Amino acid sequence: MKVFSLASFVVGICFASTLVSCKQAQPTNDSHNGYTLPQPPPQFKGTIGTTYKDSTPDKIAVVNPPKGAPNVLMILIDDAGYGQWGTFGGQVPTPNLDRLAKSGLSYLRFHTTALCSPTRAALLTGRNYHSVGMGVITEMADGYPGYSGQIPKNAAMFPEALRQNGYNTAYIGKNHQIASWETSISGPYDRWPSLQGFEHFYGFIGGETNQWQPPLYRNTTPVEMEIPKGREGHYTLNDSLADEVITYIHNQKSVTPDRPFFVYYAPGATHAPHHVPKEWIDKFKGQFDQGWDKYREETYQRQLKLGVIPPDTKLTPRPAEIPAWDSLTPDRKRVAARLMEAFAAYTAQTDYEVGRVLDALDEMGATKDTLVLWEIGDNGSSMEGTLYGAYNEFASMGGIAEDPAYILKNIDEIGGPSSYNPIPVGWVWAANTPFQWGKQVASHFGGTRNPLVISWPGHIADPGGKRMQFQHVIDMLQPFLRLQGFRSRPK
């Protein structure tokens, strides 16, 4: 397995020398410091005599991480628009993302691939998604080169390099990098997290899942989500994943406090279905009655004020294919507003759950030793919810038009266990403000521009700073590994 060259340090975590302490962590003498993994077994340095009396055992080598290597928490949000989260001008308050941005740096021209699987594969391998067989989502994989849905063995994920250099590694959340025919109880498990550098996995396989009753795996074993007593009807996968991250970090630090962790935390949010407890939805009642046209203009003005878009940015017009809000009937408006309330609630709940993880780091005194990377979306917000939204997105995907009267009748159940609700295209367009289009459309920034926030207290030159350099998701790997103590390969 080849470890990438780290000689080029132009873009990535340090992004044009924006971190104060971007010096490479210093390898310890007993670390693996080669360029091909796994390292060959160490030579025996003891003595083997005729009997045990004249024999001396060698010391068993323990791999220690590079000195100064930080814990790493990498968070990836699903299907999120540039103008969705309050930190970047959206109408939904996201106080925990705000606090991370204030202590770190916001990268405002960071780019993805407009689709889930390609972005995730590129992020974890540091390679172009076609070169690792992920030119499309895994459910659509076929036998053509670049589209197999199978990451090859010669393209290791970087957590494997971290693991073999002394890190504990965990994957918690959505996994959309396994071809659908490799997801049964019979495997094969070659491309599951436990064989791609992660010591622990808890989450779901595929593009989306029911947040109330998710089919989950612990490593390769199917498990049911455990709902705490008294939380029935108020506990979703968002809660469970945050609980798992917190428990994992607590356990890891209680046993090996000096060993750094790498946790890849990938909630299913805010991908449809937008399942969220009713008390969250109620917080947003009536807040989107102005409609998507006005929302988009208001978001654009907030973005200008926040400085997350250049002052000369022009707001792109609404495509003719998307109906104007004022053209909707009163019933259509009522349903669309309720669907957006659920989506906003889902976003706010996700920010809250990530905030619980950040709070846990504070409580453990681990914040200053933890590099947090929070990527807001593996692509833009998704346009799969039809022009008017849906109570059950699978009906629309199957070409079945839902009766508006049926949706209206069940409007109070939106977001609950009996629904499977996405938002209308108009709200998606608004969530991607100021850009055109959204997920699946790689030709426009609505599908490919997603903010990135990085925080590492004590290592940031100008906390709260904003960066406008052009970056792409594959730029993360090389400087990231260098930050962890990997040396450049010799010429």
Per-residue pLDDT of the chain (491 residues; tens, 9 = 90+): 433 322 222 333 444 334 434 444 554 444 445 456 777 788 899 999 999 999 999 998 888 888 889 999 999 999 999 999 999 999 999 999 999 999 999 999 999 999 999 999 999 999 999 999 999 999 999 989 999 999 998 888 999 989 988 999 999 999 999 999 999 889 999 999 999 999 999 999 999 999 999 999 999 999 999 999 999 999 999 999 999 999 999 999 999 999 999 999 999 999 999 999 999 999 999 999 999 999 999 999 999 999 999 999 999 999 999 999 999 999 999 999 999 999 999 999 999 999 999 999 999 999 999 999 999 999 999 998 899 999 999 887 787 888 888 999 999 999 999 999 999 999 999 999 999 999 999 999 999 999 999 999 999 989 999 999 999 999 888 767 776 666 544 44
- Nearest Cα neighbor of 64 from 42, 32, 39, 34 is 32
In a domain, residue 208? The reply is: yes
Kindly report the number of other CB atoms within 10 A of residue 159's CB atom.
23
As a whole number of angstroms, the distance between CA 395 and CA 406 comes to 13
In a domain, residue 331? The reply is: no
In a domain, residue 83? The reply is: yes
In a domain, residue 86? The reply is: yes
Number of domains in the chain: 1
Kindly report the number of other CB atoms within 10 A of residue 167's CB atom.
24
In a domain, residue 291? The reply is: no
Domain that holds residue 227: 65-274+348-381+445-483
As a whole number of angstroms, the distance between CA 386 and CA 406 comes to 16
Q: Hey, which residues does 211 pair with through a beta bridge? A: none
In a domain, residue 265? The reply is: yes
Amino acid identity at 307: G
Q: What is the CA radius of gyration of the chain?
A: 23
pTM: 0.92
In a domain, residue 325? The reply is: no
Q: Which domain CATH number covers 157?
A: 3.40.720.10
In a domain, residue 423? The reply is: no
